Each structure stands twice: as structure tokens, then as C-alpha cells.
Amino acid sequence: MNSFRVFGILRLGLCGVLVAALSGCAAYPRLINSPVDPGGRGLNSLAADLSPSISGRYIIFVSEREQRQDIYLYDRQSQRTIALPGLNALDTIAETPSVSSDGRYIVFAGNRQGRSGIFIYDRETRQLRNLTENLNATVRNPTLSANGSTVAFEANLNGQWDILVYNRDGQPLDLPTPVR
Amino acid sequence: MALSVAISFGLGGLSGCVGRGPQPPAALDSYYRDQQPALSGDGRLLAFVSGRDGTQSILLYNLQRQQFINLPNLNRDDAIAESPSLSYSGRYIVYLASDRGRPEIELYDRITRRTQVLSSGYRGWIRQPKISPDGRYIVFQTGRRGQWDIEILDRGPNVELDRRQ
């Protein structure tokens, strides 16, 4: 009698677990809690955090947490930001970053002294390079492929926005152009 | 495999109109605005927003074959779509679409050719959704707390991942 009751309670408990598990499944897609970290090492801060892009374990984004518009790299595994020495400069506004899925290359649009550029940062060498140094055009909205091979961005070349595609070394891909 | 199927679908659709034989290369840019580029994780495909032909549509271009790929059922006559992003092989396209005046995050699967709204019921202004290369996560910018914050959306452990990586 007693063991029956225990079994019944167990069964009820099991059902409850099952229901919880099932309704857990049914709740996708769902948001992952990313609370504000007042210490400034988290994904969200007390200031504006914007333009996120996700690749592998990394999320790259723009934040005003240090009273400037800078780029931050967040590691989902350690759940904190990773330092990017030499990337953020005091006189540059950084926008629309993206990162390769191995976390090595970061591409972003930078604006310095009235000139725009598409920059690539190598976390291994800590080198920053302007891929559009010799391009006489306003550029914006870059994107880097997750394998780190290819960069695409908008350029104002002919009085309207066009898309240019470069390899990581800054060589334009040879693509057909529209007929005049 | 998935990619080649989708590409042959796309090319099949195109070559069906013209007949057999390889297509001449198509120019990526036009004399209209071409904006918001997004690369597939393998760097082979480029999605972007184009104003050509007087409409605003999301287009998909194969950088190696230099051809456009058809996206049946993605662009609608009654909605504006923008801000595309691609998974590793380009199987999934996530973008922002106006739906009854509200921006929604939508996911297009190039295998099933279906779209799915991912943000239904979400309260807050949504901008710039980006899908992870494996296709499971989407990050976006939200105005829900009265300032710009970052939100991560999980499609769950049971979705078919874009495994070509």
C-alpha cells in the first residue's frame, strides 16, 4: 500500500519533469538572459550597446560604456569581454564590427578626421590595417565572412551606394560590372 | 550538398527561362542603391538589399559563379525587407521584415523555401539581426529597456544546424 503511494508520487513527479522538459522545448525560439554588468565586462552595460554580430563563441559589438564609441569582443564561453589592445583609438568612431569564428580577425568601419575606412584588426599580431586607404570613396557597413577570407562593404563610387568585395589582404575580387 | 542542391534549384529556375548552357556572368552592382552586404560564413555567397527595378528586395549572389540565386517566397509585394545575414553555407537567411507595420525578425530556409517569424510577441524596437554561422543563434539590437541593448535569441538544440563549417 505504502510503496504504491510512493510509486504514485514518483510517477507524478516524473510527469511533472516530463511536462517541464516538453514545455521547455516548446518555448523555442527563446531569449538567452544577458543581464547588465555594471562592471563593464559583460555583453550589456549601463550605456548603449549596439550592432552585435555573432560568430562561433564570439559576439562583437559597439558600446559606449567607456563614454566613447568603441568595439568590444564578448566570449560566450568565459562570459566576459576580451581586451583588444590597439584596436580602439581616441580619435576614431568605430561602427558595424564583425569577427571571424576563430576570433582572430575583426573588421569594422572607422571614421577619423572626416575620412572613412574599412579596417581589419588581427588579434594575433595586434595589427590594425586600413583596407580602403587608396579608395577615393566614402565607405561603410563592412562585413567579414566567418572563415575570415572575405570582406564586403558599401562604397559611394558613382553617386550611389555600391557593394565592393575584397579578400582579407585588401585585394578587390574580380567581379563583372554593370554595362554602361 | 545542401548548398549545391539549393544552387542547382536556383540555376534551374534561371536556366529554365533561357534554355540550356552556362549563364553569362551577372554584374553584382546596379545603377540603383545596393546596400547592407552580408557574406556567408564560407565567403562564397553575398546577400544584400537592392533598390533595382524600383523595389526593395533581398538578393543573393554567388561570388564564385557570379550568378544570382533565386529566393522563392522571400520577397513579398506587401512588405519591406532589410538587414540580411547568412549562416555558414548560406542555408539560412535572417532579416528584418515589416509585418503589419511592425519590424519582425524572419528566418528563410533555402532548403524548405519557407520563412518563419522568430520575434513574434517580442516587445521592443528591433534592429540589425545577425545569425550565427551554425544557424542556431540570432543576436540583435533592442530598445526594450529605453536604451540600445543586445539580445541573444536561441532557436533551440533541435534545429538543423548549418554544419558545413
Contact residues, chain A, for B42 at CB < 8 Å: 145-147, 149
pLDDT tens for residues A63-83? 999 999 999 999 999 999 999
Q: For chain A, say whether B73 makes contact (Cβ under 8 Å).
A: no
| CATH, residue A144 | 2.120.10.30
B4 DSSP 8-state letter: H
Q: Do B153 and A173 touch (CB under 8 A)?
A: no
Are A54 and B139 in contact (CB < 8 Å)? yes
Instruction: Decide if A49 contacts A62 (C-beta within 8 A).
Output: yes
- How much is the average pLDDT of B36-55? 95
For residue B17, pLDDT beyond 60: no
> Could you tell me the three cell numbers for B56?
526593395
Query: In terms of domains, do A116 and A61 share one?
Result: yes
Terminal-residue alpha carbon distance, chain B = 13
Residue A39 placed within a domain: no
Give per-residue pLDDT as tens, B103-161: 999 999 999 999 999 999 898 899 999 999 999 999 999 999 999 999 999 999 999 99
ipTM: 0.85
Strands across the sheet with A80-82, in order? Answer: A49-55, A58-63, A70-75, A80-82
For residues A65 and A17, state if they share a domain. Answer: no
Same domain, A89 and A156: yes
Interface touch B34/A101, C-beta < 8 Å = no
Residues of B in contact with A30 (CB under 8 A): 153-154, 156
> Are residues A87 and A143 located together in one domain of the fold?
yes
Beta strand A150-156 with A161-167 is antiparallel
Q: Which amino acid is at B79?
A: A
Bridge partners (DSSP) listed for residue B152:
A32, B139
Q: Which helix (H) or strand (E) element contains residue B15?
A: helix B2-18
Residue A161 C-alpha, separation from nearest chain B C-alpha, in angstroms: 5
d(CA A127, CA A141): 21
Task: Identify whether A172 is part of a domain.
Answer: no
Give yes or no for a contact between A137 and A162, defined as CB atoms under 8 angstroms apart. Answer: no
Determine the distance in angstroms separating the CA of B143 from the nearest CA of chain A, rounded to an integer.
Answer: 10
Beta carbons of B156 and A29 less than 8 Å apart: yes
Q: Do B140 and A52 touch (CB under 8 A)?
A: yes
Range of the domain at A140: 49-167
Q: Is residue B72 pLDDT above 60, yes or no?
A: yes
Choose among A34, A61, A165: nearest Cβ to B63.
Answer: A165
A130-158 pLDDT tens trace: 999 999 999 999 999 999 999 999 999 88
Query: Where residue A103 falls among pLDDT bands split at 50, 70, 90?
Result: very high
Looking at the structure, do residues A59 and A23 belong to the same domain, yes or no? Answer: no
Check whether residue A61 and residue A23 sit in a common domain.
no
* Nearest residue of chain A to residue B133 (CA atoms): A55
- For chain A, where are the alpha helices, taking DSSP H only? 2-26
Gap between the Cα atoms of B119 and B103, Å rounded: 9
What is the nearest CA distance from B72 to chain A, expressed in angstroms? 23
Q: What band does B20 get if pLDDT is binned at 50, 70 and 90?
A: low
When divided into structural domains, chain A yields a total of 2
Q: Chain A residue closest to B36 (CA)?
A: A141
Residue A159 zone, left/alpha/beta (φ > 0; ψ -120 to 50; rest): left
C-alpha separations of B39 from A128, A153, A169, B58, B133 in Å = 22, 10, 16, 13, 10
CATH number for the B2-154 domain, one of 2.120.10.30, 2.40.50.140, 3.30.43.10, 3.30.1340.30?
2.120.10.30
| Domain range summary for chain B, segments of one domain joined by + | 2-154
| Average pLDDT taken over every residue of chain A | 88
**CA of B141: which chain A residue's CA is closest?**
A50
Q: What is the pLDDT of residue B165?
A: 53
Measure CB to CB from residue A48 to each of B30, B46, B147 and give the nearest one: B147
